[in-house]
Amino acid sequence: MPRRRTRLSLATAASLTLLATALGTQAGAASPTAAPPTLKGHVYAGYQGWFNHPSDGSPLGAWRHWAGSRPAPGNQTFELWPDTRAYPDSVLADTGYAPLGNGDPARLFSSYPAAVVDQHFAWMRDNGLDGAALQRFGSDVSDPASPRAAVRNSVADKARDAAERTGRGFYVEYDVSGLTDANFEQVLQDDWTNVVTGSLHLTDSPAYVHQDGKPVVELWGLGFSNRPGSAEQSERIVNWFRSKGLYVVGGVPTGWRTDSNAKPGFGPVYAALDMLSPWMVGNAGDNAPQITADLAALTPRGQDYLPVIYPGFSWSNWKDGPRNEIPRRSGDFLWQQAVNVRKAGVGQAFLAMFDEYDEATAIAPAAEDSSMIPTDQYFQTTSADGTYLSADFYLRLAGAATGMISGRDPLDPEIPVPPSTGPVQFRTGFEPGTDARPTTGATAKGLAVATAGGSAHRGNTALTVKGSGKAAAPTSYGVFDVDIPVTGRTELTYYLKPADAAGRSVTVDLLLDNGETVRTRSAEKTPLSAWTKVTSRLNASARGHRITRLLVTAPGKGTASLDDVTVTNR
């Protein structure tokens, strides 16, 4: 299970000591000079904070990053639908989408309200993340008088306060996107001098991340072929920040060692950095070779290393690429990257990203399945790879990865967090690409997941069950492998539509870890060709056991459809 952090307050000097110790730094007696959090030995997630809508009270007063105008079917620039259930109604805005599959309105949040930033940092605390790399985009800060700069500064101000309240660390990461060769150096120097330290005083915060006694700043985009800044300019800006007493991290191309897919001649730039962080998002392969080669190059030079890990990637709604382009593999993709970092003994990583719903790299809570996305537009869900995963699964997984990489928890080759902590333990509407799917081979014997032609209970797809046609005893098929604890309030629900009288005997049953099967009662009076909800509460004899498999039991004859199967521990 992911590590839990103690909630911290900065109201007293003693709480400053707690802030330092919560992030693994050494702190002495309670005093205003308690050691700040460090970069090495921790995992920080990139924090975009860039979503807006017209009613969020910001100077921008417009939709941003969800879409350029009101989001609606065919008009969106994000891939992963957020789970907004924890946000107050005041931070949500209506969209042009149809209601979600569960009937709730399709609403989106803004990153501008303090309540949203507070919730994000509370999630970091509650799930064991060390904190955030606070993004500052060149396109936002190049005009200090613009509404975009005002929004960026306000989010930074709120993030600092939230980090202090929750005991998380944070540091500034500049993304040079949107700058030009002409303004590259001046914008960064002016923003750091006049805003970051001059008016926001971010580095004065006890939550601001330091390394080797210096405040940390990251410059992302150095050496990328599609980003501004010549080698000479980039080297000058790195040295300018270092002259200000900063520890400088460079977000560089994965091919930094060989100039592969990178600008040539940046060797002196890379050599000037305190720490290198090659950008791995988009690399669908094993990250172990990259880590090994990077360490071999950096260690003899005395430079530090910040590997990038991420859960998956896709942007079909924005760039018309394939759906689920780099699959999350139900968490295995992120976890294996974290295992490789730990095995290499690096001790720290950059997690991309916390709230990047645009390219489906977000670990923040997201829609679980088709019941939580609009019914008239595709969006990726946490269950897109066919295994039901709760909305907060990737938060919990990231917290576990943080503990393992930092060395606070042992190396574990297997994912240590459950798919869900409840109350919903499992749910599927059988919709392809968004819902849990039957176990491989389960549909080969009398079962078929098929488009229902508008006759599904919800959505377009249901599970069709057909008997063998012979007057034989009922047959049970293992349809979903699960691992669900049985409590005093475990409940199974599903919808059944029998096509004939014999189809009324089709049931969803549960296999327990002791080999026993919990059978639901046949719906003998269920109307034909109509959907009826079937509910079964597990009895006391099953308590303390675990459900290992969901079964579908079919009679020798008869046909029926099943849909919207759910197991809850309420």
DSSP labels for 438-501?
A: PPTTGGGSSEEEEE-TT-SSSSSEEEEEE--SSS---EEEEEEEEEEE--TTEEEEEEEEESSG
Q: Mean per-residue pLDDT for 387-393? A: 98
Q: Is 150's pLDDT higher than 70? A: yes
Lowest mean pLDDT among 290-304, 389-403, 444-458, 484-498: 444-458
The angle, 0 to 180 degrees and rounded to 10, between the axes of the packed helices 114-126 and 147-166 is 40
CA distances from 114 to 202, 318, 423 (A): 17, 28, 28
For 234-276, the pLDDT digits (tens) are 999 999 999 999 999 999 999 999 999 999 999 999 999 999 9
Nearest-angstrom CA–CA distance, 434 and 328: 13
Strand 507-512 relative to strand 517-518, pairing: antiparallel
CB burial of residue 204 (10 Å; 0-12, 13-18, 19+): exposed
Dist CA 26 CA 33 (whole Å): 12
Phi, psi of 262 (to 5 degrees): -150, 160
428, pLDDT greater than 70 = yes
- CA 415 – CA 400 distance, rounded (Å): 9
Compute the 3-state secondary structure of the chain and give helix, strand, coil in percent, each to the nearest 5: 25, 25, 50
> Rounded CA gap, 316 and 296, in Å?
37
CA-based torsion, 519, 525, 528, 529: positive or negative: negative
**Pairwise CA distance, residues 489 & 278, whole Å:** 48
In this predicted structure, the answer to whether residue 506 has a pLDDT above a threshold of 60 is: yes
Angle, helices 332-344 vs 288-298, to 10°: value is 30
pLDDT digits (tens, 9 = 90+) for 326-347: 999 999 999 999 999 999 999 9
The 10 Å Cβ neighbour count of residue 150 is 15
Region at 426 (left for phi over 0; alpha for psi -120 to 50; beta for the rest): beta
Helix (H) or strand (E) holding 172: strand 169-175
* pLDDT band, residue 100 (cuts 50/70/90): very high
pLDDT at 466 over 70: yes
Say how far apart CA 519 and CA 241 lie, in whole Å.
Answer: 67
Tens digits of per-residue pLDDT, 521-568?
877 788 999 999 999 999 888 999 999 999 998 888 888 999 999 999
pLDDT tens-digit profile of 196-219? 999 999 999 999 999 999 999 999
Q: How far apart are CA 422 and CA 263, in angstroms?
A: 49
H or E element in which residue 214 lies: strand 214-220
Quick one: what percent of the chain has pLDDT higher than 90? 84
Answer yes or no: is pLDDT of 12 > 50: no
* Mean per-residue pLDDT over the chain, rounded: 91
pLDDT bin (cut points 50, 70, 90) of residue 470 is low
- Residue 457 predicted with pLDDT over 90: yes
| Bridge partners of residue 561, in order along the sequence | 464, 497
